[in-house]
Chain A
Amino acid sequence: MLLSLRDVTKTYPGAEAPVLQRISLDLHAGEMLALTGESGSGKSTLLHLTGGLDTADRGIVAIDGTDLTPLDDPGRAALRRGTVGVIFQQFNLIPSLTVAANIAFQARLAGRYNPDRVQRLTTRLGLGDHLGKYPEQLSGGQQQRVAIARTLAPQPRLVLADEPTGNLDEATADTVFALLCELVAETGAGLILVTHSERLAARLGRRLHLRAGQLT
């Protein structure tokens, strides 16, 4: 089992109700899951817990059978470097690095930089002409492609995408989404996609809906 959540509960300090309540969930390698729900339903929180960006109050979050809960900051950082890749709605590129450096960045951090693979990714994502540019010189769609390339370059086992097309227009969103699914499928990694777009969610093999902190 690639990912396994058991009875995960999370309450933000000061909030009355838990944002996640006894969530249990399994995901196999190669499986693609769409997570939908209204704003505040806890889908981003679930993603953050899975990616080690945040910690659960109770329950177990295990990747490849290893529980993340007891990990300290360096341990969780190591997880984000190698095993899990996160794609953000805001792209979160490093503005002072070129496109090429941004794409290579996480793979270098993880010590898994492979020029051939990076080259393949840039070609597939149509970024070949933009390698010397800086993020601010790119359109939103292009920036998200750079972020996808950066995330996939170290070959993570699990890709977490938080509204990756939320800042893009519909046509661009479709193209980027298709590319993402295609590339993830090629690596055999698992994918959890958080979106509020029913249209995009419908295109993935498995769908879960969050409401008031519980899966329905």
Chain B
Amino acid sequence: MTRTIFSALFSHWRRNPLHLITLLAGLALGTALWSGVQAINAEARASYDAAAATLGEGTYAQIVAQDGAAIPQQTYVGLRRAGWLVSPVVEGDLGRVRIVGIDPLTAPRGIGPVSVGGGADLGAFVTGTGQILARADTLAALPETDATVIITPDVAPNTAIVDIGLAQRLLGRAGQIDRLIVLPEQPIKRRPLDTIAPGLIETAPPDSSEVARLTDSFHLNLTAFGLLSFVVGLFIVHGAIGLAFEQRRPMVRTLRALGVPLRRLIWLMAVELATLGLIAGLVGVALGYVVAAALLPDVAATLRGLYGADVSGQLTLRPAWWISGLAIAVGGTAVASAGALWSLARMPLLASAQPRAWVMARQGVALSMLSLTLLMLAGGLAIWGQGLSAGFIMLGALLVGGALALPPLLTLALRFGQARARSPVAQWFWADTRQQVPGLSLALMALLLAMTANVGVSTMVSSFRLTFVGFLDQRLASELYVSATDAAQAERIAAVAMAQGVVVLPILAVDAKVAGQPAEIYGARDHATYRDNWQLLRAVPDAWSVLARGEGVLVNEQLYRRADLDLGTMVPIAPGLELPIVGIYGDYGNPVGQVILNDAVFTRQFPDVTALRFGLRLDPSKVDAFRAALRDQAGVADSAMVDQAVIKAMSLSVFERTFTVTTALNILTLAVAGFAMLMSLLTLAVMRLPQLAPVWALGLPRRRLAALDLLRAVVLAALTGALALPLGLALAWALLAVVNVEAFGWRLPMYLFPMDYLRLGALALLAATLAALWPAWRLSRMPPTQLLGVFRNER
């Protein structure tokens, strides 16, 4: 019996290949969108993690030679024998590949390849000709050596991990070490570093720079886009499955009447759909891979810009997103078909087999209520919600609530149109459009969400860029930033600067607790640099002069929000010193609070703190010459001098890349939504014949009907777009003002970009028109006999 039932179920797809293709394509596209974004996300993260793990940077304190030279191996042994748990690293380039030599016996857990594959063998790694662990593409770029190569995908891009002995041999650096990783757990009773190796300095685990911290925001960006694409994908999957059921309701009834048990039928349909979901999922993941591969070079460039470290532009097939992609396809299919199967199970055998789409109108009230509830939940969370997860739940409630509000709002708008219509054709047009809303609602919801996501994410990214560029101008006002190793060098730097007439702005800072929050207290010299460049979010009149007189402080937004401060609030800075807040400044990317004091007040309060970092104001064209002077006369290492122009250019290029990625994803989402609409229109085309035939018979030519159908799609898309704009802005607001605040403690100002929205609207209309074009063309060429068939008795 099972085979007979399957033959009937499959005959539907064989007879209507277009239905099958639309179902598979809908599922595959939804999956592709999701897995593409996931792939980019996963790859970006994996690249970071591999880079951080390979280099041991970011997590561990390090010991380097003060003069930047190599550390003799004997010094390393001396440190170990003095109780310092340090692990040696030697690095260098071999061809274009960065060779990192480690000692696996002393390296902290997680350094080097995160896990070495099945061929791992410590003996082979440390002795004999050795082994080289790297990604396949890196290995291909390596010159020939006698070591065995082992493909290890977890190694950072363009980096090869080898034993330190082999690294010294390959790089011709016998007995030399570049840096020592300091393990977090050290034995008690260890001698101070300067008594063992005076030339070495220990650097704390790098407190990631302001610019690097913004990468977290970039991730949030991608994560948000992943979430949005997930919702859009889910709607598309739901739509595709829903249609597959609609089309087959009459057949299901017939099968049951002929004696097919209900339970078996439902099981077989579930198996059938799971199979289709799996096939479509595989295609979708493959498609997602293509999407990700196309976009990844840009993302890679973005990350390379941020980290300065190599991030592979190549995609590794990761089991995680194969699995997540298939899960979204099969899971989405399951979620979507569960409802449909449930309604099939409850459908009385003798009920009319009319497609449910037309019945859906009756559920309108329930859906409107649900929508209202969700929107209220979103609103409530926006006001009272706490924490990042509340932020994300709010996003979800906002999106789904907004989507569910679409059909009733469309119906309302179309009723309004109908009431205004004068000519009979116009009246019929509005009424007929309204009747189609239930059938098209899933596709329109997908379009709505796609447009919403686009408006929201574009707004977010653009706001982000504007804010960030402004912030860079403010923060990186000095042309050159220099760090001194000690007070003596600081004095030499000041002397060199004085001799050349360069303005020195010392950066005085001390860690403290302010208003119960961890914070940094900065001393700032009164200089035009600050007055001209810093924009305060809120300030009392003439705040800079008050600050210069030492009669007030500035605090950053993070501290202002977390400690619930306000202008005029007295802030205890140190015992016996309390000053009012005269201004609040944006401090994007900084996790902790900040207070800025006048430098004279600072020095009085913290006499022990000497400035080791300086901002230097000078003619940009003289930066190179001055760097050379600092190097030669004050012994400042190159790595201790940062050219502001370089940072700025790098940061800006990052955002350009972000834009490319965002735009590409925008277009992709719209295309997918357009496809969902095409599917719905094609299905409706058949069902609508009984409605169209009388109008045709009454004298409206097919071409006219087709044109009206096209117009109908545009009207629906335009109405959808009208709702998408406020929803998208709400989304952007939620991302900038809720999620970002919860995640990072600072709020991004929101800017509006009307031209962008216009362009997006035009793109959405274009997508809708393209989707409606083919069904309309088919209608305009429909043989009259087919329309006549509606009136034939036998139907």
Interface residues in chain A, defined as those with a beta carbon under 8 Å from any beta carbon in chain B: 48, 53-54, 73-74, 77-82, 86, 88, 92-97, 101, 105-106, 108-111, 134, 139-140, 143, 150, 167, 169
Q: Decide: A95 near B261, CB < 8 A? Known: A53-B349, A105-B8, A167-B794.
A: no
Bound-state Cα–Cα, A93 to B349, Å? 16
Binds A, one of B10-18, B328-336, B645-653, B768-776: B10-18
List of A residues within 8 angstroms of B5 by Cβ:
109
Interface residues in chain B, defined as those with a beta carbon under 8 Å from any beta carbon in chain A: 1, 4-5, 7-8, 11-12, 14-16, 250-251, 253-264, 349-350, 793-794
Closest Cβ of chain A to B689, distance in Å, is 13
Q: Decide: A96 near B261, CB < 8 A? Known: A48-B350, A101-B7, A167-B794.
A: no
Closest Cβ of chain A to B690, distance in Å, is 15
In the complex, the answer to whether A110 meets B259 with C-beta atoms within 8 Å is yes
- In the complex, which of the residues A74, A95, A139 contacts B15, with contact meaning CB atoms closer than 8 Å? A95
List of B residues within 8 angstroms of A101 by Cβ:
7, 11
What residue in chain A is nearest B12 (Cβ atoms)? Answer: A96
Bound-state Cα–Cα, A61 to B16, Å? 41
Closest Cβ of chain A to B668, distance in Å, is 34
Bound-state Cα–Cα, A105 to B653, Å? 66
Q: Which of B256, B261, B793 has the most CB of A within 10 A?
A: B261
In the complex, the answer to whether A73 meets B261 with C-beta atoms within 8 Å is yes
In the complex, the answer to whether B261 meets A74 with C-beta atoms within 8 Å is yes
Bound-state Cα–Cα, A106 to B256, Å? 11
- In the complex, which of the residues A54, A73, A111 contacts B263, with contact meaning CB atoms closer than 8 Å? A73
The interface residues of chain A, by DSSP majority, are classed as helix
What residue in chain B is nearest A143 (Cβ atoms)? Answer: B794
- In the complex, which of the residues A53, A78, A169 contacts B261, with contact meaning CB atoms closer than 8 Å? A78
Q: Decide: A105 near B257, CB < 8 A? Known: A53-B350, A96-B14, A143-B794.
A: no
Bound-state Cα–Cα, A105 to B258, Å? 9
List of A residues within 8 angstroms of B264 by Cβ:
74
Q: Decide: A77 near B262, CB < 8 A? Known: A54-B349, A167-B793.
A: yes
Q: Which of A53, A78, A82, A109 has the most CB of B within 10 A?
A: A109
Closest Cβ of chain A to B6, distance in Å, is 11
List of B residues within 8 angstroms of A80 by Cβ:
257-259
Bound-state Cα–Cα, A105 to B793, Å? 26
Closest Cβ of chain B to A169, distance in Å, is 8
What residue in chain B is nearest A110 (Cβ atoms)? Answer: B259
Bound-state Cα–Cα, A79 to B259, Å? 7
Q: Decide: A140 near B11, CB < 8 A? Known: A80-B259, A86-B257.
A: no
List of A residues within 8 angstroms of B793 by Cβ:
140, 167, 169
List of A residues within 8 angstroms of B250 by Cβ:
95
List of B residues within 8 angstroms of A53 by Cβ:
257, 349-350
Bound-state Cα–Cα, A77 to B349, Å? 11
Q: Decide: A97 near B261, CB < 8 A? Known: A53-B349, A140-B794, A167-B794.
A: no
What residue in chain A is nearest B251 (Cβ atoms)? Answer: A94
Q: Decide: A139 near B258, CB < 8 A? Known: A94-B11, A95-B251.
A: no
In the complex, the answer to whether A106 meets B258 with C-beta atoms within 8 Å is yes
Q: Which of B15, B255, B794 has the most CB of A within 10 A?
A: B794
In the complex, the answer to whether A92 meets B794 with C-beta atoms within 8 Å is no
List of A residues within 8 angstroms of B257 by Cβ:
53, 80, 86, 88, 92
Closest Cβ of chain B to A88, distance in Å, is 7
